[in-house]
Amino acid sequence: MWMHIDSSNYGEAKAGWATSDSVCGSYTYGGSVQPLGYQSRDLNLFKGVFSDCCCGDFEERGWGGDC
C-alpha cells in the first residue's frame, strides 16, 4: 500500500508504504522517504483486481462477480 506521510505542520511530505500477504490482512509498515530528495504531496490511484475477500461487496455494488 502506498500512502502520504506527513507531520501536523506538513513538514515531512513523504511517500510511505506498507505490505501484506492479503489486501484484507494485517499490514507491516515499511517506511517512508522523500523520493529523490523531493517532497511528495500527491499520490496516484492504481485501480486493480480485487481479492477474494472483497467479492461480497464487489457483487453487492453490481460491479460483477469475477474477482
Tens-digit pLDDT profile for residues 4-34:
999 999 999 999 999 999 888 899 999 999 9
Question: Residue 5's beta-bridge partner residues?
Answer: 14
Total domains present in the chain: 1
Is the residue at 32 inside a domain?
yes
What residues make up the domain containing 22? 2-60
Q: How far apart are CA 23 and CA 37, in angstroms?
A: 29
Residue with cell 453490481: 62
Is the residue at 44 inside a domain?
yes
Is the residue at 66 inside a domain?
no
**This prediction's pTM:** 0.59
Is the residue at 22 inside a domain?
yes
Residue 49: burial class (beta carbons within 10 Å; 0-12, 13-18, 19+): exposed
Report the DSSP pairing between strands 2-5 and 14-19: antiparallel
Is the residue at 14 inside a domain?
yes
Going 59 to 45 to 31 to 12, the CA torsion angle's sign is negative
